[in-house]
């Protein structure tokens, strides 16, 4: 019955004129106020039981914390099948299941052709960031998304977070249009919840930007 209801709702067109807008305090607000507050907030959209899109703001646009870099490197090595060193900085991009970033219904199917198009767009940014650097760039997809990647490709960057380690420990807040994480060898982690471009987000690794989120004496 539940599956049938979900299928029926997905077949219906969502009337965006009926959108509901919720602020970070859980209060219903106008679309104009929502847009104003979105500049400094994270966001997650969902479709409710009446096939209405609910746009919800969250306070944590940025999150900073410290974790064990060795454990993170080990988990990434398990996922990628590559040797990820804890001594190297890491940039992660996380795609959440149910993300309505580009559609009124989530597209959970990442075919070879779709991945190829995405890689073609992203490759120039990767090459610039990795030039003369030991930076690791990895794209993680939440378990449940259908990802047809090429695990035999030594340059592959797209992987499923199969055991939900990163979903449960770093990317804990579902966010529209992906979340980003920068991880330094000392275990400091900066998460940006919301749409960005990877080369823009990478600038937070610079000391003058990193120090806005971590005390001076903790920088690596």
Delineate the domains of the chain, giving CATH numbers in brackets. Answer: 2-58 (no CATH), 62-218 (3.40.30)
Local confidence pLDDT in tens for the 220 residues of the chain: 444 444 444 557 889 999 999 999 999 999 999 999 999 999 999 999 999 999 999 999 999 999 999 999 999 999 999 999 999 999 999 999 999 998 777 779 999 999 999 999 999 999 999 987 899 999 999 999 999 999 889 899 999 999 999 999 999 999 999 999 999 999 999 999 999 999 999 999 999 999 999 976 554 4
Mention every residue, 6+ apart, whose C-beta is less than 8 A from residue 182: 89, 90, 91, 189, 190, 201, 202, 204, 205
In contact, 202 and 182? CB cutoff 8 Å: yes
Mention every residue, 6+ apart, whose C-beta is less than 8 A from residue 165: 75
Residue whose tokens read 């960057």: 157
Task: Report the run of H or E that residue 91 belongs to, with start and end.
Answer: strand 90-95
Per-residue model confidence (pLDDT) at position 13: 83
Per-residue model confidence (pLDDT) at position 216: 65
| Alpha-carbon distance values, 8 to 15, 49, 107, 144 (Å) | 15, 11, 16, 20
């Amino acid at each position: 019955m539940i599956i049938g209801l979900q299928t029926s709702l997905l077949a219906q067109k969502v009337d965006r004129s009926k959108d509901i807008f919720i602020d970070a305090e859980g209060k219903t607000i106008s679309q104009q106020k929502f847009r104003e507050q979105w500049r400094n907030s994270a966001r997650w959209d969902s479709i409710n039981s009446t096939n209405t899109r609910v746009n919800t703001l969250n306070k944590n646009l940025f999150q900073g914390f410290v974790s064990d870099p060795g454990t993170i490197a080990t988990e990434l090595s398990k996922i990628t099948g590559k040797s990820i060193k804890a001594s190297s900085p890491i940039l992660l991009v996380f795609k959440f299941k149910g993300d309505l970033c580009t559609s009124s219904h989530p597209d959970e199917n990442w075919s070879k052709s779709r991945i190829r198009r995405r890689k073609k767009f992203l490759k120039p940014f990767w090459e610039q960031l990795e030039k003369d650097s030991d930076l690791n760039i990895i794209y993680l997809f939440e378990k449940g998304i259908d990802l047809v990647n090429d695990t035999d490709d030594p340059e592959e960057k797209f992987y499923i977070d199969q055991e939900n380690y990163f979903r449960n420990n770093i990317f804990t807040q579902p966010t529209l249009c992906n979340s980003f994480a920068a991880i330094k060898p000392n275990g400091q982690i900066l998460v940006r919840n919301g749409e960005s471009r990877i080369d823009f987000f990478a600038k937070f690794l610079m000391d003058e930007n990193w120090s806005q989120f971590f005390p001076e004496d903790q920088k690596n």
